[in-house]
Amino acid sequence: MTNIVEVTGLTKSYGKITAVDHVSFTMEPNKIYGLLGRNGAGKTTIMHMISVQQFATSGELKVFGEEPFENSRVLNQICFIKESQKYPDTFRVIDVIEVAKSLYPNWDDDYAHALVEDFRLPLKRKIKKLSRGMLSSVGIVVGLASRAPLTIFDEPYLGLDAVARVLFYDRLLEDYAEYPRTVILSTHLIDEVSRLLEHVMVIDQGKLILNEDADALRGRACTVSGLATAVDSFTRGREVLERTAIGAAASATLLGAPNERERKEAEALGLTFTPVSMQQLIIHLTRIPSAGKGTEGA
């Protein structure tokens, strides 16, 4: 099957600033990708280039197997939801829904209206009179109901409360199960979205430093805790990402999941293992300069 996105050596410079620096990757059909990274890492710029809202300075980009520039076959299949979407002043929620209906070939109007109710959006209210969270909900409704084969959510939930965020995650998973498509989700709330993600890409200072299957990533580290002397004895000779100690107790985050023998060894020392959250792991990995080396183009 054709890759949805194929990027080779993609670079975007603004004068002396290199926002995206020779990034190469592919995105497969029907997967949920997390595009993660710190502020200013280059995530939005990458998503803008994929959706042809910005041009690359150099490199190659194919979307749905084609050059995306002025290519309606490609552009019709992309829905981009950004944090601060602007709408005409006179627009009400219903107007946004109607325009979206005409834009996206796979639009499901019944689903859109069901989502409007779920998110408690007042259809007749002007967009400019909506609260910040309600405005984010409008974008989420459009993104989900578009059922676009490539749906991009760039930090879609500014101002959205926890209940609405969980609603978004649940609806996305349910609808994706029934109508698989490729979703790119860019967010800082890594732990919140980690259960949704099938593949994780981390951008740091314009470079792709991690490009990995989410399950493989989850198995890449664990934390071992107990008496500091026991922790140190167990971790000797192993790759420790971080060690913290309080009084006589310590915990160490280790690369790799423990095998049966290691579990027994730890148990004998009175140590316990806990999984490392995706957010912790990414923080650990992005702190180490050599962390993702060799992952580009995976």
Ligand X SMILES: Nc1ncnc2c1ncn2[C@@H]1O[C@H](COP(=O)(O)OP(=O)(O)OP(=O)(O)O)[C@@H](O)[C@H]1O
Is position 156 an interface residue for ligand X (rule: CB under 6 A)?
no
Residue nearer to ligand X on the CB measure, 45 or 182: 45
Q: Least distance (Å) from ligand X to the CB of residue 25?
A: 15
Distance in angstroms (rounded) separating the CA atoms of residues 46 and 98: 29
Distance in angstroms (rounded) separating the CA atoms of residues 215 and 29: 18
Distance in angstroms (rounded) separating the CA atoms of residues 187 and 119: 20
Is position 173 an interface residue for ligand X (rule: CB under 6 A)?
no
First and final C-alpha spacing in the chain: 17
Residue nearer to ligand X on the CB measure, 154 or 262: 154
Contact, 104 vs 78, CB < 8 A?
A: no
Per-residue contact track with ligand X, 267 to 296, x per CB under 6 A?
Answer: ------------------------------
Is position 16 an interface residue for ligand X (rule: CB under 6 A)?
no
Is position 14 an interface residue for ligand X (rule: CB under 6 A)?
yes
Of 133, 118, 282, 255, nearest to 194 (Cα)? 282
Residue nearer to ligand X on the CB measure, 19 or 282: 19
Query: Which tokens go with 270?
Result: 């009175």
Is position 210 an interface residue for ligand X (rule: CB under 6 A)?
no
Per-residue contact track with ligand X, 32 to 71, x per CB under 6 A?
Answer: -----x-xxxxxxx--------------------------
H or E, element range at 5: strand 5-14
Is position 256 an interface residue for ligand X (rule: CB under 6 A)?
no
Distance in angstroms (rounded) separating the CA atoms of residues 152 and 154: 6
Of 195, 196, 193, 200, nearest to 214 (Cα)? 200
Residue among 19, 141, 144, 148 that touches ligand X (CB under 6 A): 19
Is position 122 an interface residue for ligand X (rule: CB under 6 A)?
no
Three-state secondary structure call for residue 271: coil
Count of residues engaged in binding ligand X, rule: CB under 6 A: 11
Q: Least distance (Å) from ligand X to the CB of residue 188?
A: 7
Whole-Å CA distances, 153 to 142, 184, 248: 11, 6, 45
In terms of DSSP bridges, do strands 17-27 and 5-14 run parallel, antiparallel, or are they unpaired?
antiparallel
Residue nearer to ligand X on the CB measure, 46 or 141: 46
Residue nearer to ligand X on the CB measure, 44 or 223: 44
Residue nearer to ligand X on the CB measure, 202 or 217: 202
| Residue 273: Cβ-neighbour burial (10 angstroms; 0-12, 13-18, 19+) | middle
- The stretch near ligand X (CB under 6 A) out of 13-21, 74-82, 107-115, 284-292 is 13-21
Residue nearer to ligand X on the CB measure, 226 or 292: 292
Residue nearer to ligand X on the CB measure, 186 or 225: 186
Three-state secondary structure call for residue 206: coil
Q: Where does this chain bind ligand X (CB under 6 A)?
A: 14, 17, 19, 37, 39-45
